[in-house]
Amino acid sequence: MKFRIKIETLNNGEKRYVAQLARLQITGGWIKRTEIRWVDMYGSKFLTEEEATHAIECYRKCYEQKKAEEVKSVIYKEI
């Protein structure tokens, strides 16, 4: 998983920070095409880079916790 922060500078000099996540997109029928598509994570802009970085860290932490709770393997024992 890749993350980045998009920095937008407004005409009045203010800056807005957008936390973004890269997602791999696979399209096509017989011939598969792959591309990386960047999407805004929360649909909102942050006033500081620290807030955007904190949002990414929170997302990453929740994602890792969710991944840790997924089933890794299943074994069936016949009786």
With contact defined as beta carbons under 8 Å apart, do 19 and 2 qualify? no
User: Is 40 within the bounds of a domain?
Assistant: yes
* Strand duo 3-9 + 15-27: pairing: antiparallel
Query: Alpha-carbon torsion 15, 19, 22, 23, what sign?
Result: negative
pLDDT digits (tens, 9 = 90+) for 67-79: 898 887 788 878 8
CB atoms within 10 A of CB 41: 16
Question: What percent of the chain clears pLDDT 90, i.e. is strictly above it?
Answer: 67
> Alpha helices, DSSP H only, in 19-77?
49-68
State pTM to two decimals: 0.72
What DSSP character marks residue 46? Answer: B
pLDDT at position 78, please?
A: 81
Q: Which domain holds residue 25?
A: 3-68
**How many folded domains does the chain comprise?**
1
User: Is 75 within the bounds of a domain?
Assistant: no
User: Is 8 within the bounds of a domain?
Assistant: yes
